[in-house]
Amino acid sequence: MDTIKKTQLFNASCVALVVTALAFATRGSFVEAWATEFNLTHTQVGWIVGTAFWGFTLAMVFGGPLVDIIGLGRIIAIAFFCHVAGIVLTIFATGFWTLFISTLFIGIANGSVEAACNPLITSMYTEEKTRRLNRFHAWFPTGIVIGGLVVYLFNNIGLDDWRYAMGIMLLPTFLYGYMFLNKRFPQTERVVSGFTYKDMLKSCVSPLFLFMAFCMLLTAATELGTNQWIAALLANVSDNPILLLVWISGIMAVARQFGGTIVHNVRSTVILMVSSILAFAGALLMGYVSGAFLVFMAAGIFALGIAFFWPTMLGFVSENIPESGALGLAIMGGIGFLGGAIAQPVLGAIFDAQTVASIPAGQTLEILRSAAEGTQEAAAWAAAQLSGGARTLRFVAILPAFLIVAFSFLHFMKRKSTR
C-alpha cells in the first residue's frame, strides 16, 4: 500500500488555497468593472461577491460532516470540478444572475478546499497544528498578491478585460488537480483518536466552541469583508488601487509564513488580543488619514492585525477542542465565510450611502456619476467616492473594537482555568 506523502499533500493543499485566493483577489478588483459593464449598483455587486461566501459556507457545513464518510479525496474532487465550472461560467457571464451562479460555484469550490485541507493538515501534523495552519493559510494572502499583480500587469499591457484574469486561474486549478491525483489520504485526527460522532457533535455545541464561532463571524467579516472591498473603497487614493490589496496581502503572507515561531510559543489568546488592537487601529486610521503614503502605512497596520486571525482561530479550536474534529474546523470556516458573506452587501450599502452623503450640496448622484472625465463634476464624484470609502472604513473599525473586549475576556478566562 502507498504511504502517506505528507509534503506532497501539504504542497498540493497550498496550491489549491492559492486558487481560492486568486478568486478572491481578482473578483475584488472586478467590483467597479462589473458595476459599469452590467449596470449594477454596489449593493447588487455586493450580493454577487457575497455569493462566493455563501457557497463556501454551504460547502463547509455539508462537507465537514462528510469528510469522514466519503473521504478527503472526494471532497477535493468536488472542489476541482466546481472551480473549473465557476471560472468558465464567470468568463461567459452576461449579467447579474450568471455572475451570481458562477460565483456560487466558486464559493462551493473554495469551501470544499477548506473543508478537506484543514483536517488533512491537522491530521498529518498533530504536534504543530497552529504553526502548520499558519503556513498553509499564508498561501491565501500569497495568492491574493499573485492575483492582484496579474490584474495590475494586464491593465498596464492593455489586457484590461477582467475575463483574461479569470482565465489565468485555470492554470493553478489544473495544477492542484494533478498534484492530488492518485494520492493516498490519511484518516482524520478524530477517527485516529477514537472520538465518536456523538463526541464530535457534542463538542460543537459546547460554550467555548459557540463563543469561538461567534468571534469567527466577526474576525472573518473584518478580514474578508474589508479586503474584498478595499480596492473600491480607496480607489482614488492611487492610480492602481489593487496595489493596496497586494500590499495588505503581502504583509499577511510574510507574517503567516515566518511568524510560526511566535505563534507556536505565545498563547493563542494573546495573539488574538493583539491582532484585534492592530486591526482596530489600522481600520480607523485608513478612515481618517489622507494621501497614498499614510493610507498604505495604515493599511500595513491593519494587515498585521488580520494576518493571524483565521489560522489562529482554527488552531485554537483544534488544540483546545480536539474532539470537534473535521466538523469543528468546517463549522468554524463556514461561519467565517458566513461573516464575509454578510459583510459584502452591508459594506456595499454603507459605501453607497456614505458616498451619497459626501456629494456636494446642489449636485446629484446621476449627474456626477455620468460626468465626463476631466470635468469638475467628475472630480467631485471622485472626491465623494473617496470620502464615502473612508467613512465606510470607520464603520469597519467597530468589529475589531468589539473583538478586543471578547478576546480579552477569553484570555483571562483561560488563564483562570489553568491556575
Tell me the pLDDT tens digit for each residue of 78-136.
Answer: 999 999 999 999 899 888 899 999 989 998 998 899 888 988 898 888 777 778 888 89
By C-alpha distance, which of 29, 125, 117 is closest to 67?
A: 117
- Domain residue extents for the chain: 6-418
pLDDT surpasses 80 at 320 = yes
Residue 264: all three cell numbers together: 507556536
pTM above 0.85, yes or no: no
Task: DSSP letter for 360, please.
Answer: P
What stretches of 234-267 show up as alpha helix (H) in DSSP? 242-258, 260-265
**Least confident piece of the model among 113-117, 209-213, 234-238:** 234-238
Give the pLDDT mean for 342-353: 85
**Of 18 and 48, more confident:** 18
Give the model's pLDDT for residue 1.
36
Give the pLDDT mean for 247-275: 83
By C-alpha distance, which of 410, 145, 387, 392 is closest to 276?
A: 410
**Of 33 and 259, more confident:** 33
Separation CA 44–CA 121 (nearest Å): 37
Give the model's pLDDT for residue 304.
94
How distant, in Å, are the alpha carbons of 28, 167, 258 from that of 32?
9, 19, 34
Residue 362: all three cell numbers together: 446642489
Separation CA 80–CA 174 (nearest Å): 8
pLDDT surpasses 70 at 163 = yes
By C-alpha distance, which of 137, 113, 54, 132 is closest to 318?
A: 132
CB atoms within 10 A of CB 239: 9
For the chain, give percent helix, strand, coil, nearest 5.
85, 0, 15
pLDDT surpasses 70 at 29 = no
Give the model's pLDDT for residue 235.
67
**Chain mean pLDDT for the chain:** 84
pLDDT surpasses 70 at 215 = yes
Percent of the chain with pLDDT over 70: 91
**Helices and strands (DSSP H and E) totals, the chain:** 22, 0
Q: Is the dihedral of CA 230, 286, 288, 401 positive or negative?
A: positive
Q: What is the pLDDT of residues 359-416, one digit of tens each?
A: 877 776 677 766 677 787 777 877 787 788 888 889 999 999 999 999 999 999 888 7
Confidence of residue 279 (pLDDT cuts 50, 70, 90): very high
**Least confident piece of the model among 136-150, 154-168, 292-306, 308-322:** 154-168
Secondary-structure class of domain 6-418 per CATH: mainly alpha
Cβ–Cβ < 8 Å for 44, 164: no
Confidence of residue 14 (pLDDT cuts 50, 70, 90): very high
Percent of the chain with pLDDT over 90: 27
CB atoms within 10 A of CB 273: 20
Cβ–Cβ < 8 Å for 115, 67: yes
Distance of CA 182 to the CA centre of its chain: 29
Confidence of residue 265 (pLDDT cuts 50, 70, 90): low
